[in-house]
Amino acid sequence: MNKDFKLKTALCAIGLATLGSAGFADSGDTLASVKERGEVLCGVHPARHGFAAPNSKGHWDGFEVDYCHAIAAAVFGDADKVRFVALSSQQRFPAIQSGEVDVLVRNVTATLGRDTALGLNFAPPIFYTGTGFLVHADSGVKTVEDLDGATICVAPGSTTERNVAQIFATRGMDYTPVVIENNKQLVDAYVTGRCDALTKDKAALPGVRAYDTENPAEHVLLPGIFSKEPLAAAVRQGDDQWYDLVKWVTYATFNAEELGVTSENAGDMKSSDNVDIQSLLGVTGDYGSKLGVSEDWAYNVITQVGNYAEIYARHFGPGSPVELDRDLNTLWVDGGLLYGFPIK
């Protein structure tokens, strides 16, 4: 190999590396930046029933919103030290890549492509769901096969958009996509009959029925889940400390439920002789300092936000606007997929 070829090869490699990192913020020490700023910048869905939306008082509310609060509780001991940044499907990845937000908790499906090409790291999934379809009750549609030739409302840039194409292609069926970015406009298009069906993660579809307050019974969920959609918080690659913190906040909510530690009894549970509870609540060990936060980080998460069961019940339990069975979103000891790594 001659010297000129070696030089050209090296320059090419440098150019590709530079191109690959263009548009990506330096991860740096995110935790230090968050502490200096005094709040966590959390990217969320602009309006998705049960997951994230401003309530009647203008305050953010929802399952994913609570996980933003949980991160703030771990960092500051104050769950309210978080600023919510509403992001569309198209905005969400540039926002985390550029450093506009510190963490993305916005109905993001963890996939290999996103994990690698987008420069993201995913915390453990907090919600398992899959692609589903909602149709009008009077349409006569009973199964997904009945949608051959239908118009389908779908959000752009989502895994659902790709899933629908695959679902119809594998069945040899045709469809016409109606692609709308704004979530309210997308739902309105379906409700008013512009589309024969609306497709989203199945967990989001009951919220659409709640949206149509005059005729909620006019919308029917088709049977079946047609993809794997593990929803998880995402952070930028290159900052292991911040990634570790977000990851272990998630595990803490799982472990608290498994150990029977709740927002109501966490104070009393500090006197438990169970070593796992002692570690979780910061009675023993130096696990907080290993994460760069106080030793009572998980205690603050649990007392101010709750364990996983409390968070889920608040937004999807009986009496909530969007009631959903926990299904796969139960602990491993109950046959579900939630498994908190041990704090030891």
* Domains of the chain, first to last: 30-129+230-333 (3.40.190.10), 131-227 (3.40.190.10)
* CA pseudo-torsion sign 230, 235, 239, 241: negative
Question: Alpha-carbon distance 38 to 59, whole Å?
Answer: 19
List Cβ neighbours of 210 (8 Å cut-off, separation of 6 or more): 49, 216, 321, 322
Question: Alpha-carbon distance 126 to 262, whole Å?
Answer: 18
What tens digit of pLDDT does each residue of 134-186 get? 999 999 999 999 999 999 999 998 889 999 999 999 999 999 999 998 888 99
25 or 73: whose pLDDT is higher? 73
Tally of CB atoms within 10 A around 236:
25
| Structure tokens given for 321 | 């606007």
Q: Which of 11-15, 86-90, 320-324 has the lowest mean pLDDT?
A: 11-15
Q: What is the pLDDT of residue 26?
A: 67
Query: In the block, which residue shows the tokens 């603050």?
Result: 300
Residue-by-residue DSSP string for 283-340? SSS-HHHHHTS-TTHHHHHHHHT--HHHHHHHHHSTTSSS----TTSSBGGGTSSB-P
pLDDT-based confidence at residue 324 (cuts at 50, 70, 90): confident
Question: How much is the pTM?
Answer: 0.83
Crossing angle of helices 63-76 and 308-316, in 10° steps, is 150
In the three-class reduction of DSSP (H, G, I as helix; E, B as strand; rest coil), residue 202 is classed as helix
Instruction: Please check whether residue 43 is in contact with residue 92, taking contact to mean a CB–CB distance below 8 angstroms.
Output: yes
What tens digit of pLDDT does each residue of 20-69 get? 444 567 667 999 999 999 999 999 999 888 999 998 888 999 999 999 99
What tens digit of pLDDT does each residue of 282-313 get? 999 999 999 999 999 999 999 999 999 999 99
10 or 310: whose pLDDT is higher? 310
What does the CA dihedral 324, 328, 330, 334 come to, rounded to 10 degrees? Answer: 130
Question: Alpha-carbon distance 122 to 108, whole Å?
Answer: 9
Q: Please determine, for residue 122, whether its predicted confidence score (pLDDT) is greater than 70.
A: yes
Q: What is the pLDDT of residue 11?
A: 37
Average pLDDT, the chain: 90
Query: Largest Cα–Cα distance of the chain, in whole Å?
Result: 76
